[in-house]
Amino acid sequence: MTGTGIGAPVRRKEDQRFITGAGRYTDDLSRPGQAHAYFLRSPHAHAKILSIDTAAARAMPGVVAILTGDDLAADKIGGLICGWMIHSKDGSPMKAGPHPALAQGKVRYVGDHVAVVIADTYAQARDAAEAIEVAYEVLPAVVDARAAQKAGAPQVHDVADDNTVFRWHLGDKASTDAAFARAAHVTKIDLVNNRLVPNPMEPRAAVGEYDPGNESYTLFTTSQNPHVARLVLSAFIGVAPEHKLRVIAPDVGGGFGSKIFIYAEETVCVWAARKVGRPVRWTSDRTEAFLSDAHGRDHATHAELAMDENGKIIGLRAQTIANLGAYLSTFSSSVPTYLYAPLLSGSYDIPAIYAEVDGVYTNTAPVDAYRGAGRPEATFVVERLVEVAARELGMDPAKFRKRNYVKRFPHQTPVIMTYDAGDYGASMDKALELADYKGFSRRKRESARRGKLRGIGFSSYIEACGIAPSQAVGSLGAGVGLWESAEVRVNPTGSIEVLTGSHSHGQGHETTFAQLVCDRLGVPIENVIIVHGDTDKVQFGMGTYGSRSGAVGMSAIAKAIDKVIVKGKKVAAHVLEAAEADIEFKDGKFTVAGTDRGVGFADVALQAYIAHKFSGQDLEPGLKEGAFYDPTNFTFPAGVHICELEIDPDTGVTTIERWTAVDDFGVIINPMIVEGQVHGGIAQGVGQALHEGAIYDESGQLVTASFMDYRMPRAADLPSFQVGMTVTPCPSNPLGIKGCGEAGAIAAPAAVMNAITDALGHEDIAMPATPQAVWRAAQKNAAMRVAAE
């Protein structure tokens, strides 16, 4: 390891520009002749559009064009797609309704796109939008997934009876039922996984432009995966041919999943740019972000755990209703199915598992992947079940977990996954020590003396990351492969450009990816630049989500670097007049084995390009190699988080006093960045557990449509974290990386809720455990005490 190689806490190269305001985001771009788009959105959750009268609006100052769903249809622009096919248990394909970028005849949620106004200025576009007269026939709306499945509920899409998109299942029902039949104890819980609004700091934005000279389009957009955006916009939506559409995702200020998807707004900006002959730009305001960014979670689950007489888990079954919103977003169908149920084994050896999941349409914003995507929901189910089971059995929750952990690897679960490596007991032991678990009862007594309720909660999570082997996801219904590409271009001076299909929107790739290059090629980190986010530069890539950039994206880079070294050895052999087989490469130097003769990496690069020492017939000039890497398995980061908190029963305020996180992310490239990812993930998970929750009223209005009502986690809500690591290298990729981006958000909600229920002494509280909810739950405590006396 060099000072900037793998394992070094290198400061983030990109932060200089971010913290000095020199970042370049989509909204910072100014294109010559640009016009501004404003989307007229539905004020109703469910309504027929009887007519749209744009005459008065068209006459307003500065208006360039007003376009509606009819114009989209006339131009044969296709609808937005969902790229993962799910089949119901009866074998029928999921029932996906149409998803036009601008509404065609009907609106289905508040914020749905009715028309776009394009004008010289944003204010003019907005003024004109107010002058559009839309006649609606308002229909009854349904916002709760369980209510949507009931007879007589308003039907969101004609194609989906009972608003049910799919009735999917996984696992073996018969063997699971048999396990429950012979169980000594069964634990049952009902859980709601609350709906979240992603709220990245930078709202979504798009600039579309059209060059009539070569009939080509450019889209600047806030995307986590610009190549996928280009593929979908060309092959499925049909706004432009793939080879004539360039998608650029410049600096992007956070995504958390919400910028994976291909939305109406960027589709319209590209399409409209050609129609009006000017660049068309749009930037979401915060209210639009609340209304129209794909939301996360929103599950209702009944789950049961079966134990034998020794406290050994012998079965798990779960029934989940997943609210998918009004339309299927890009990957929404995969989140409550294949990203969820295969994780229901948790870190445990559970011989029989059966899960049923219904995906349901409602009159709410589409729901799709959000930090963790399915895995937080699974972890919440498993870790709440296990905690409650331990309590019911009168066992210490740590001991109960350790008894049931998977201990031998590889381990085949009954729900698809083959866990490749891990040592869950080691993580638990380390976490117990860091958390001073032994001292908890003393701290609880001390809290009680001050009139406070103290609780401790565990979350022994596992996740499947590094998605994923293309063949595997293809067999599960994915419309794409999930490999990654890389190209390593060595310049004649020895500086290096690495092109990656991963996309950085806060993760620090410009630093960590460069560290890999330093480590392998022995070049100074300042001589390495990471290029991403432009389909004209990077040939193809699958983007960043699912904690996959390290495990998959960096593995592709490593593979390309290996090829560079092979080629470099050929060049060095000519330079050193030695046999290629005798050339060794180490610490940035090619040497002839057993001699002191050698040549540095930069000199080899120069020789590769001037090509004076070898014949072009023997060896191609240049030093540039590309690679595609397709992983052999998912990766399985896992760990133990312990939350210790205190409740003020007078106000219901919960204060997190201690947080211990012991994670196994495999090999770590940059421990500082990894720790930062853990911190951010925990904050988001605590946000879900204690604070956040999107609330629609019965008419389908989003009550929490601004920060005045949607409670984000704040720095002051959190203690200093105790972060520890254990390392079992991942055997399924060349770098041993498992991924770290989502772990905190996956682990935290269960840890918090287990701690709150421990403090309260009962399970009757749901997320978010707001002060009001906790106070009410504590009132129940008091009532229980009175009843007991």
Q: What type of residue is 127?
A: D
CA separation for the pair 121, 190 (Å, rounded):
51
- The stretch among 423-431, 509-517, 612-620, 765-773 that binds other proteins (CB under 8 A) is 765-773
Q: Is the distance from CB of 434 to CB of 665 less than 8 angstroms? A: no
Q: Is the distance from CB of 334 to CB of 464 less than 8 angstroms? A: no
Residue closer to other proteins, measured from CB, 287 or 495: 287
In a 3-state reduction of DSSP, which class is residue 524? coil
Residue closer to other proteins, measured from CB, 651 or 655: 651
Q: Which residues contact 617 (CB under 8 A, 6 or more apart)?
A: none
Q: Is the distance from CB of 441 to CB of 357 less than 8 angstroms? A: no
Q: Is the distance from CB of 221 to CB of 267 less than 8 angstroms? A: no
- The stretch among 39-47, 122-130, 289-297, 333-341 that binds other proteins (CB under 8 A) is 122-130
Residue closer to other proteins, measured from CB, 197 or 608: 197
Instruction: Work out how close the CB of 192 gets to other proteins at its nearest, in angstroms, rounded to a whole number.
Output: 15
Decide: is 776 part of the binding site for other proteins (CB under 8 A): yes
In a 3-state reduction of DSSP, which class is residue 644? strand
CA separation for the pair 255, 275 (Å, rounded):
30
Residue closer to other proteins, measured from CB, 37 or 576: 37
CA separation for the pair 484, 552 (Å, rounded):
6
Residue closer to other proteins, measured from CB, 10 or 694: 694
Residue closer to other proteins, measured from CB, 317 or 691: 691
x-or-dash string of contact with other proteins, 75-114, rule CB under 8 A: ----------------------------------------
- Residue 61 CB neighbour total at 10 angstroms: 11
- The stretch among 155-163, 442-450, 540-548, 770-778 that binds other proteins (CB under 8 A) is 770-778
CA separation for the pair 42, 113 (Å, rounded):
6
Q: Which residues, numbered 251-290, are part of the site for other proteins (CB under 8 A)?
A: 287
> What tokens does 531 get?
């290029």
Residue closer to other proteins, measured from CB, 708 or 788: 708
φ/ψ region of 620 (left if φ > 0, alpha if ψ in -120 to 50, else beta) reads beta
Residue closer to other proteins, measured from CB, 104 or 704: 704
Instruction: Work out how close the CB of 122 gets to other proteins at its nearest, in angstroms, rounded to a whole number.
Output: 11
Instruction: Work out how close the CB of 776 gets to other proteins at its nearest, in angstroms, rounded to a whole number.
Output: 7
CA separation for the pair 432, 625 (Å, rounded):
47
Q: Is the distance from CB of 94 to CB of 359 less than 8 angstroms? A: yes
Instruction: Work out how close the CB of 706 gets to other proteins at its nearest, in angstroms, rounded to a whole number.
Output: 9
Residue closer to other proteins, measured from CB, 405 or 710: 710
> What tokens does 498 get?
């690495």
Instruction: Work out how close the CB of 684 gets to other proteins at its nearest, in angstroms, rounded to a whole number.
Output: 16
In a 3-state reduction of DSSP, which class is residue 555? helix
Q: Is the distance from CB of 234 to CB of 540 less than 8 angstroms? A: no
CA separation for the pair 115, 546 (Å, rounded):
34
x-or-dash string of contact with other proteins, 447-476, rule CB under 8 A: ------------------------------
Q: Which residues, numbered 37-76, are part of the site for other proteins (CB under 8 A)?
A: none
Decide: is 770 part of the binding site for other proteins (CB under 8 A): yes
- The stretch among 15-23, 39-47, 119-127, 352-360 that binds other proteins (CB under 8 A) is 119-127
Decide: is 771 part of the binding site for other proteins (CB under 8 A): yes
Q: Which residues, numbered 682-711, are part of the site for other proteins (CB under 8 A)?
A: 691, 695, 703-704, 707-711
Instruction: Work out how close the CB of 712 gets to other proteins at its nearest, in angstroms, rounded to a whole number.
Output: 8
Instruction: Kindly state the number of chain residues that form the binding site for other proteins, as judged by CB under 8 A.
Output: 22
Instruction: Work out how close the CB of 289 gets to other proteins at its nearest, in angstroms, rounded to a whole number.
Output: 14
Among 524, 775, 781, 784, binds other proteins (CB under 8 A): 775
Instruction: Work out how close the CB of 525 gets to other proteins at its nearest, in angstroms, rounded to a whole number.
Output: 37
Residue closer to other proteins, measured from CB, 74 or 712: 712
Q: Which residues, numbered 613-652, are part of the site for other proteins (CB under 8 A)?
A: 650-652
Instruction: Work out how close the CB of 194 gets to other proteins at its nearest, in angstroms, rounded to a whole number.
Output: 12
Residue closer to other proteins, measured from CB, 123 or 593: 123
CA separation for the pair 174, 730 (Å, rounded):
34
What's phi and psi for 530, nearest 5 deg? -100, 125
Decide: is 11 part of the binding site for other proteins (CB under 8 A): no
Instruction: Work out how close the CB of 651 gets to other proteins at its nearest, in angstroms, rounded to a whole number.
Output: 6
Q: Is the distance from CB of 158 to CB of 98 less than 8 angstroms? A: no
Task: Spell 472-510 as b/e; 16+ CB within 10 A means b.
Answer: bbeebbbbbebbbbbbbbbbeebbbbbbbbbbbbbbbbb
In a 3-state reduction of DSSP, which class is residue 541? coil
Q: For residue 264, say if its preceding peptide bond is cis, omega within 30 degrees of 0.
A: no
- Residue 596 CB neighbour total at 10 angstroms: 6
Instruction: Work out how close the CB of 689 gets to other proteins at its nearest, in angstroms, rounded to a whole number.
Output: 13
Residue closer to other proteins, measured from CB, 194 or 502: 194
Residue closer to other proteins, measured from CB, 290 or 545: 290
Instruction: Work out how close the CB of 255 gets to other proteins at its nearest, in angstroms, rounded to a whole number.
Output: 23
Q: In which residue are the tokens 């060049």 written? A: 571
Strands 721-725, 299-307: pairing kind: unpaired
Decide: is 121 part of the binding site for other proteins (CB under 8 A): no
Instruction: Work out how close the CB of 709 gets to other proteins at its nearest, in angstroms, rounded to a whole number.
Output: 5
In a 3-state reduction of DSSP, which class is residue 487? strand
Residue closer to other proteins, measured from CB, 295 or 391: 295
Please, which contacts does 407-414 make with residues 24 or more away whose CB atoms are closer than 8 Å?
407/349, 411/349, 413/342, 413/345, 413/350, 413/353, 414/171, 414/172, 414/175, 414/345, 414/350, 414/351, 414/352, 414/353
Instruction: Work out how close the CB of 128 gets to other proteins at its nearest, in angstroms, rounded to a whole number.
Output: 13
CA separation for the pair 525, 518 (Å, rounded):
6
Residue closer to other proteins, measured from CB, 270 or 690: 690
Instruction: Work out how close the CB of 21 gets to other proteins at its nearest, in angstroms, rounded to a whole number.
Output: 18
Q: Binding residues for other proteins, per CB under 8 A?
A: 123, 126-127, 287, 650-652, 691, 695, 703-704, 707-712, 770-772, 775-776
